[in-house]
Amino acid sequence: MSDETPDLYAVLGITAQATPAEISHAYRSLLRHHHPDTRGIGDQAHATASDNALQQVLAAYSVLGDPVRRAAYDRGVAARSQPVIVRRQPQHPRPPRGSSVPTPPIVAGPVRWHRGPL
């Protein structure tokens, strides 16, 4: 995965094979841990880190809690883990400049005629 997109399963601390009940349980426990009303009093740096973690937990659950969005996320993760194969189209060889080999004629495809305004 790239640096800009965190693994949503790792944010919630679960595996990709987790059931919806396990996802909800992990979400609720992390929400309770990082919520400003229940995390206790601490220094500002700890509060900022906890707020950032809370935002990540909320974003992860918004995707993984919905079965349709979770399936789309899983397809995207699988697509990102596959190597990208780029196939080049064969190009027509061009004769070197200054050679006496004639260039092939221009070939056009079928023409579609449009009627004008009636």
pTM: 0.61
pLDDT score, position 96: 64
Phi, psi of 62 (to 5 degrees): -65, -30
Counted domains in the chain: 1
CATH number assigned to the domain comprising residue 35: 1.10.287.110
Give yes or no for residue 45 having a pLDDT over 70.
yes
pLDDT tens for each residue of 97-118: 666 666 666 666 676 666 666 5
65, burial (CB in 10 Å: exposed 0-12, middle 13-18, buried 19+): middle
pLDDT tens for each residue of 54-76: 999 999 999 999 999 999 999 88
Residue 29 lies in a domain: yes
pLDDT, average across residues 32-59: 83
Range of the domain at 22: 14-81
Residue 109 lies in a domain: no
